[in-house]
Amino acid sequence: MIIKDTKILLVEDNLDDVELTLLAFKKYNFSNDIIVARDGQEALDILFPFKEKSKKSKLPDIILLDLKLPKVSGLEVLKEVKTHPETKIIPVIVLTTSNEDRDIRDSYRLGVNSYIRKPVEFNKFVEVVKQLGLYWILLNEVPSHKEE
Amino acid sequence: MKLTKISYQILLTFIIVIVVSISTAGWFLLQVCENIVINKISVGDRQLSQGVGREIKSEMENIKSVLKFLVSSPNWQEMDPFMIKDELKFVENNFPDITELYVADLEGNQIVKKGAGKPENVADIWSFQLAKEGQEIFSDIFLDPQTLKPIQIIVLPILENKTVKGVLSAELDFQRIISSIMDVEIGRDGSIFVVAGNGRVIAHTYINQLTDIDFSSVPIVEAVLGGQKGVMKGYADNLGNRVVGTYFPVWELGWGIIVQRSLSEISREVEQVRNVIFITIITSIILAIIAGWLMSGTISKPIRLLAEASERVAGGDLSTSVDIKSSNEIGVLTNSFNRMVKELKQTQGALRKSHDELELRVKERTTQLEASMYELKAFAYSVSHDLQAPLRAISGFSEILLRDYLDTLDDQGQHYLKRVRAGTVNMSQMIEDLLTLSRIARRPINKKRVDLEKLVRETYELLSEAERKDRKIDFTVKSCLPVSSDPQLLKIVLTNLLSNALKFTGKCKKAEIEFGCNTKDKKTIFYVKDNGIGFDMKYADKLFSPFQRLHRKEEYEGSGIGLAIVQRIIHRHGGKIWAESFSGLGTTFYFTL
């Protein structure tokens, strides 16, 4: 696999899921630069730090977002990301267990770029992560954060 | 709304009844009065006509008897002119009406003559010839063509022992009698006249110049000449006036006396009575209007009050009550009306109370239901999110163990690990199905026109793709009319039913699956029929319960929730689903939409 210099922010509270996701990513060598946020607040802190300087360098290229999170929910994080102009351009992929209509609808209403359901079965999950990586990391071009 | 109709009706009826009865009574009274007046007048007139008639009669009879006496006297039998002349002097002096008179011998020579002209021979005259034969002749009264006076001629034979010796002829002038009749006091509108036997009027109060007209066909003349006496009312006289006539015959002479009076004269007499009656009628009409007005007001007022009150009640004002104190039917009506309104008010109050209570209870229930619905949703949501994560961990890590650490486990260990993985697959399927079930319960129905036949075929193709290569399946679809339903939900129904059919015919040598429809009581019943293993009908009621299985899992896989989903979809469409089966012979699922 070609390793691209893609920064990924994984927002996920469940350690098991974090580990399994990382395992799956590792299996296909999509990226080495994965930051994990364990709740919504942490994700927001990473995306909107107090020091203006460090901001640009730390912004991820892709956000993988779980919906059910402690403190600040995934939808709220999504709303913040899509409201602010500097984060608005970052593709957000909801990666969650639920396929409730309400969640899908709300996510797209807030401007999610993709909604992917985590299958329970590990083999299927690995397959999903593979597809996701192939598309969003390798095929899809993301905008750079450097000023034009 | 003005309620004056009843009072007007009463008033009108009252006035009509009063006017009709008083008018009828008045008319009869008037008739009676008129009759009384007519009778009174006719009594007087009868006496008058009788008097006139008798007077004429006696006068005539006197003349006749004198003449008869003369012709039978012995002096005359000698036919001595001097003797005769001498005796005739007596007649001339006492009976001035005899204007002409002669005595002729058998040759017709006038031996004595009184009146104008010289004696002549009358042998050619017809009356002389008859008298010569011994007949007595009394002519009718007629007008003398020369003098135009009413006269009668009497010719008598002069007899001696039935032998005719000569003839006496006398001419009677009626002018004096007629004048005396015309002088009778009879009143302004009355008249008296005399008709002779030939129908000629010989005397009339107002007619001096009598004409030679025959009146014998006039009813009253006919009656009097027929010898009757009486009163004839309301006929028209010769001038066209309506008159009352009283008539009396003079039988001996063949004459009739008629007294006629105009009805207008009679009405003048009755006028006073009529005026009294008119005044009575007008007075009673005025009184009737006043009395009727008062009475209709008395009768209609309570009715009007009741009607207005019931209008108010109909308009929803239940505080209405009517205050009428009366012991008649109106009073009874008022009482029952008031009672009815009171009861209505009570009933309405009770109804409103129970309605309010019911409303409150419904509200409570709804709140409870909403709360539990909310809990259910929250539960489903949390199941969807949280329950699957640990499962994924179990599945994932056991998989990694199997893949990456296989060599550190012996066969038994590997077996257990595989069982753990199979368990997670199973559970994840069950959670999936449960979530589907709860989602269908919450999802709104979105009905469209669906070509069922096409949908069945597509679903079947998709489901049986893998299996068709391995075994022979005979699939038939009977054509059905398109239905109105939610296509996505209907597809879930068909997927479940068809996959069941495929599953339970898995062990058949030749599987037969059929989809079709038939109509019963104007409802279309769809069916999916297979010749699979079937089930025992005593478990039919358990078929649609979630997690209810009728076969062991090792034989036929599945979560046991498919038919529960199917039933829920059908119920949400307002339809029914049921199954018929014979163990070993196959199953048919029927459903309506």
Task: Determine the pLDDT at residue A148.
Answer: 41
Task: Determine the pLDDT at residue A106.
Answer: 92
Distance in Å, alpha carbon of A142 to nearest chain B alpha carbon: 29
Task: Determine the pLDDT at residue B93.
Answer: 81
Closest-approach residue (CA) in chain B for A103:
B381
Q: Could you report the per-residue pLDDT of B251-281, keeping only the tens digit for each?
A: 777 788 888 887 777 777 778 877 888 888 8
Identity of residue B198: N
Helix (H, G, I), strand (E, B) or coil at B554: coil
The number of angstroms, rounded, from the C-alpha of B191 to the middle of its chain's C-alpha atoms is: 58
Domain boundaries, chain A: 8-138
CB B230 within 8 A of CB B259: no
Closest-approach residue (CA) in chain A for B426:
A121
Query: What tokens were used for B309?
Result: 């009150």
Better-predicted residue by pLDDT, B143 or B512: B512
Whether residue A118 is predicted with pLDDT greater than 80 in this model: the reply is yes
Helix or strand run (H / E) with residue A85: helix A85-88
Portion of chain B with pLDDT greater than 90, in percent: 5
Distance in Å, alpha carbon of B451 to nearest chain A alpha carbon: 26
Q: Do A125 and B396 touch (CB under 8 A)?
A: yes
Q: What beta strand segments (E) does B414-565 contain? A: 448-450, 473-477, 483-485, 511-520, 523-530
CB of A100 within 8 Å of a chain B CB? The answer is yes
Q: What beta strand segments (E) does B53-109 contain? A: 98-105
Closest CA to B331 of B308, B296, B293, B301: B301
Most confident range (mean pLDDT) of B29-38, B110-119, B169-178, B491-500 is B491-500
Distance in Å, alpha carbon of B398 to nearest chain A alpha carbon: 9
The helix/strand count (H/E) of chain B reads as 14, 18
Q: What is the mean pLDDT of residues A38-50?
A: 86
The number of angstroms, rounded, from the C-alpha of A28 to the middle of its chain's C-alpha atoms is: 17
Q: Could you report the per-residue pLDDT of A64-99, keeping only the tens digit for each?
A: 999 888 888 899 999 999 998 888 889 999 998 877
Q: Do A101 and B431 touch (CB under 8 A)?
A: no
Better-predicted residue by pLDDT, A54 or B37: B37
Better-predicted residue by pLDDT, B407 or B208: B407
Q: Do A98 and B399 touch (CB under 8 A)?
A: no
CA separation, residue B116 to residues B101, B132, B167, B230, B465 (Å)? 10, 24, 19, 43, 169
Which residues of B sit within 8 Å Cβ distance of A? 380-381, 384-386, 388-393, 395-400, 424-425, 428, 431, 435, 439, 443
Task: Say what the alpha-carbon torsion angle B248, B251, B253, B255 is, to the nearest 10 degrees.
Answer: 30
Question: For residue B395, which residues of chain A lie inside 8 Å, CB to CB?
Answer: 120-122, 125
Helix or strand run (H / E) with residue B203: strand B201-204
Residues 69-88 of A with CB under 8 A from B: none
Whether residue A4 is predicted with pLDDT greater than 80 in this model: the reply is no
Q: Could you report the per-residue pLDDT of B161-195, keeping only the tens digit for each?
A: 778 888 888 888 877 777 777 777 777 677 888 88
Whether residue B196 is predicted with pLDDT greater than 50 in this model: the reply is yes
Q: What is the CATH number of domain B446-591?
A: 3.30.565.10
Question: For residue A120, which residues of chain B lie inside 8 Å, CB to CB?
Answer: 388, 391-392, 395, 424-425, 428, 431
CB of A7 within 8 Å of a chain B CB? The answer is no
Which residue blocks in B187-229 are alpha helix, DSSP H? 219-225
Q: Do A98 and B385 touch (CB under 8 A)?
A: yes
User: 3-state secondary structure string, B467-492?
Assistant: HHHHCCEEEEECCCCCEEECHHHHHH
Gyration radius from chain A CA atoms: 14
Q: What is the mean pLDDT of residues A109-128?
A: 88
Distance in Å, alpha carbon of A40 to nearest chain B alpha carbon: 16
Per-residue pLDDT band at B360 (split at 50, 70, 90)? very high
Task: Determine the pLDDT at residue A52.
Answer: 58
Q: Could you report the per-residue pLDDT of B140-158, keeping only the tens digit for each?
A: 777 777 777 778 888 888 8
Closest CA to B560 of B550, B568, B548, B552: B548
Closest-approach residue (CA) in chain A for B439:
A100
Distance in Å, alpha carbon of A147 to nearest chain B alpha carbon: 39
Per-residue pLDDT band at B4 (split at 50, 70, 90)? low
Separation between Cα atoms, residue B25 and residue B16, nearest integer Å = 14
Query: What tokens were used for B519?
Result: 């109509």
CB B419 within 8 A of CB A135: no
CA separation, residue A50 to residues A39, A46, A53, A84, B482 (Å)? 18, 10, 9, 15, 63
CB of A136 within 8 Å of a chain B CB? The answer is no
Domain boundaries, chain B: 446-591
Task: Determine the pLDDT at residue B2.
Answer: 47
Question: For residue A128, which residues of chain B lie inside 8 Å, CB to CB?
Answer: none
Per-residue pLDDT band at B3 (split at 50, 70, 90)? very low
Question: For residue A101, which residues of chain B lie inside 8 Å, CB to CB?
Answer: 439, 443
Write down the residue that tokens 């390798």 correspond to: A138
> How many inter-chain contacts (A to B, CB under 8 Å) are there?
67
Separation between Cα atoms, residue A48 and residue A84, nearest integer Å = 10
Distance in Å, alpha carbon of B384 to nearest chain A alpha carbon: 5
Pairing relationship of beta strands B473-477 and B150-160 according to DSSP bridges: unpaired
Q: Do A68 and B385 touch (CB under 8 A)?
A: yes
Question: Which candidate from A97, A122, A125 shows the least CB-CB separation from B384?
Answer: A97
Per-residue pLDDT band at B1 (split at 50, 70, 90)? very low
Query: What tokens were used for B263?
Result: 């009805």
Helix (H, G, I), strand (E, B) or coil at A25: helix
CB of A107 within 8 Å of a chain B CB? The answer is no
Helix or strand run (H / E) with residue B93: helix B81-94
Gyration radius from chain B CA atoms: 69
Question: What residues are paired with B578 via a beta bridge?
Answer: B590
Question: Which candidate from B425, B435, B439 shows the least CB-CB separation from A121?
Answer: B425
Query: What tokens were used for B114?
Result: 């009184």
Q: Could you report the per-residue pLDDT of B57-112, keeping only the tens digit for each?
A: 888 888 888 888 888 877 777 777 888 888 888 887 888 888 888 888 888 888 88
Q: What is the mean pLDDT of residues B542-568?
A: 78
CB of A121 within 8 Å of a chain B CB? The answer is yes
Write down the residue that tokens 């066909």 correspond to: B217
Mean pLDDT of chain B: 82
Interface probe for A, chosen from B392, B397, B425 (most Cβ of A below 10 Å), is: B392
Q: Do A23 and B400 touch (CB under 8 A)?
A: yes
Separation between Cα atoms, residue B244 and residue B262, nearest integer Å = 6
Question: For residue A107, which residues of chain B lie inside 8 Å, CB to CB?
Answer: none
Portion of chain B with pLDDT greater than 70, in percent: 97
Residues 16-55 of A with CB under 8 A from B: 16-17, 20, 23
Q: Could you report the per-residue pLDDT of B108-125, keeping only the tens digit for each?
A: 888 888 776 777 888 888
Residues 6+ apart with CB under 8 A from B20: none
Question: For residue B386, which residues of chain A lie inside 8 Å, CB to CB?
Answer: 68, 97
Q: Do A98 and B393 touch (CB under 8 A)?
A: no
Angle between helices B487-504 and B411-442 in degrees, nearest 10? 140
Per-residue pLDDT band at B210 (split at 50, 70, 90)? low
Separation between Cα atoms, residue B38 and residue B30, nearest integer Å = 12
Task: Determine the pLDDT at residue A56.
Answer: 54
- In this structure, the number of other CB atoms found within 10 A of the CB of residue B520 comes to 9
Write down the residue that tokens 């793709």 correspond to: B465
CA separation, residue B156 to residues B85, B102, B107, B354, B404 (Å)? 17, 11, 15, 130, 191
Whether residue A147 is predicted with pLDDT greater than 50 in this model: the reply is no
The number of angstroms, rounded, from the C-alpha of B454 to the middle of its chain's C-alpha atoms is: 67
Q: Is the ipTM of this complex over 0.90?
A: no
- A8-138 domain in CATH 3.40.50.2300? yes
Question: For residue B385, which residues of chain A lie inside 8 Å, CB to CB?
Answer: 67-68, 96-98
Separation between Cα atoms, residue B112 and residue B86, nearest integer Å = 10
What's the whole-model pTM score? 0.45
CB B503 within 8 A of CB B563: no
CB of A113 within 8 Å of a chain B CB? The answer is no
CA separation, residue B545 to residues B504, B530, B587 (Å)? 18, 21, 17
